[in-house]
Amino acid sequence: MAKTINQGDAFICGGGPVGLMLAIGLALKGHSVVLAESVALDDVLTGGDEPSRSSFDGRVLALSHGSRLVLEKLQVWADVQTFVTEIQHVHVSQKGYLGVTTLNADEVGVPALGYSIQSSDLGRVLWQHVRKMATVTVLCPAELVDFCEKGDRIHAKVQMGSGEEIEVQAGLIIGADGTHSRVRTILGLPMQEKSYHAFGVIAQIETQQHPEGWSYERFTEQGPVALLPMQDHFHKAVLVCPEEEIESLMALNDEAFMDLFAEKMGERLGAYTQVSKRVAYPLKETYVEQMNSGRAVLMGNASHTQHPVAAQGLNLGIRDIDVFLEGLETQADIGDPQYLADYAEQRKSDHESVMGLTDSLIQVFQHTSPLVGHLRGIGMMALQAMPGLRKRFARFAMGGRRS
């Protein structure tokens, strides 16, 4: 029986947000794309609470203003906008010490600093756009088995969920297949990994008062806690705890968890009235220093993951896409190894600055010295008192790479 062969300009491994956005962007530029996703579409589109099943699980994502601009270029923002909640203000504080910093959208002249959205809602919109594109071929569920480079083409072996084996031939292969990237493994690119020995516990929580566009982040010595506004009186709640406490924390009933969250965050918007099932994620930082090899390149979590303290992970991946697509304006061969090497070098400074910021925030705010705590407070009060510096920080957080 003859093997099925799929031809394309690009082969994308991974149907998460980065893989789908890249497929849309390439198709809009007239390129043919083959995209392989390991999770069956029915499971992807129904969402869920299991982080191991799909990129579009029960989490709530924070999209920066810069990411909105990219989604507008990709012609999907109008549909995404239906599901977002605007973040107009950000309030940052620390438990046990003075010091507060607030960021406001009107200070930097944008409609919102960012937007919260259910990952499952974002996934449905992106998949709807991809499935309408005639130049995008979707293989799902499908697993990359192996690939090699022959001349100016990538030849990849893909195993379908039905057991059928398919060969994909393309000008380049993009690993957008997450932290445990199969593309990276095949290339043998080393990954640096740092564990924070902590878990992020995520839930939806309801407050008595409406958030009115306010997002709150509070640093404690055990880790940060955060509230991200959602529809009505609901919020995404994030609580970071040391790994030795995760078992007892996850065993708490709803009332005990809300009491603990209130003790750490405070009742910023009145009492907490209900909370959803909690999901826990181990917190790690990973970085692949060499993110390209020949006609292969890594994007998104396949090349970098960050601590969620600054909510920059997905937004950094979206900037990867934007820079890559922008560079194609003058590129005849989208898989040219020199172009991929130049792109990878160009992205390094952004990756390193974001990762440096997130890591520094954790190190500084979890330091237990009272002297350091008071110095943090002085720094936050100084930031609050200096509008120009505060605007620069807000622009960095919004992900505008030209700010």
Q: What SS3 state is found at 19?
A: helix
10 Å CB burial of residue 340 (0-12, 13-18, 19+) is buried
Lowest mean pLDDT among 46-60, 134-148, 324-338: 46-60
Report the b/e string of 34-56 with b at 16+ CB within 10 A.
bbbbbbebebbeebeeeeebbbb
Q: Which residue has the higher pLDDT, 31 or 400?
A: 31
Q: Compute the distance between CA of residue 98 and CA of residue 77 in angstroms, rounded to an integer.
A: 39
Res 33: pLDDT = 97
DSSP H or E segment with residue 195: strand 192-207
Average pLDDT over residues 91-112: 77
Q: Which parts of 77-135 are beta strand (E)?
A: 85-87, 89-94, 100-104, 114-118
Q: Which residue has the higher pLDDT, 366 or 188?
A: 188
Res 359: pLDDT = 60
Q: What SS3 state is found at 113?
A: coil
Domain limits of the chain? 4-57+119-192+285-360, 79-118+197-283
Query: What would the two tokens of residue 383 be?
Result: 């930031």
pLDDT tens digits for 277-334? Answer: 998 888 888 888 899 999 999 999 998 876 665 556 788 899 999 999 999 988 889 9
Distant-in-sequence, close-in-space partners of 255: CB < 8 Å, separation ≥ 6: none
Res 54: pLDDT = 55
Res 283: pLDDT = 83
Q: What SS3 state is found at 401?
A: coil
Residue 98's pLDDT band, with cuts at 50, 70 and 90, is low
Query: What would the two tokens of residue 253 be?
Result: 């009933």
State yes or no: pLDDT of 401 exceeds 50. no
Res 294: pLDDT = 96
Average pLDDT over residues 77-106: 83
Q: Compute the distance between CA of residue 60 and CA of residue 237 in angstroms, rounded to an integer.
A: 9
Q: Compute the distance between CA of residue 44 and CA of residue 187 in angstroms, rounded to an integer.
A: 27
State yes or no: pLDDT of 206 exceeds 80. yes
Res 391: pLDDT = 57
Half-sphere exposure of 350 (CA within 13 A, CB side): 26
Q: Compute the distance between CA of residue 8 and CA of residue 34 in angstroms, rounded to an integer.
A: 6
State yes or no: pLDDT of 370 exceeds 70. no
Q: What SS3 state is found at 270?
A: strand
Query: What would the two tokens of residue 247 be?
Result: 């078992």
Contact criterion met (CB below 8 Å) for 172 and 11: yes
Distant-in-sequence, close-in-space partners of 262: CB < 8 Å, separation ≥ 6: 271, 272
Specify the CATH class of 79-118+197-283 in words: alpha beta
Query: What would the two tokens of residue 386 be?
Result: 């200096």
Average pLDDT, rounded, for the chain: 84
State yes or no: pLDDT of 392 exceeds 80. no
Average pLDDT over residues 69-92: 93
Q: Sign of torsion, CA 380 382 387 390?
A: negative
Q: Which CATH superfamily is domain 4-57+119-192+285-360 in?
A: FAD/NAD(P)-binding domain (3.50.50.60)
State yes or no: pLDDT of 378 exceeds 50. no
Res 2: pLDDT = 47
Question: One-letter amino acid identity for 285?
Answer: E
- The DSSP letter of residue 15 is -
Say what percent of the chain tops pLDDT 90: 51
Please give, one letter per residue, the 3-state secondary structure of 289-355. Answer: CCCEECCEEECHHHCEECCHHHCCHHHHHHHHHHHHHHHHHHCCCCCCHHHHHHHHHHHHHHHHHHH
pLDDT tens digits for 142-170? Answer: 999 999 999 999 999 999 988 899 999 99
Res 308: pLDDT = 61
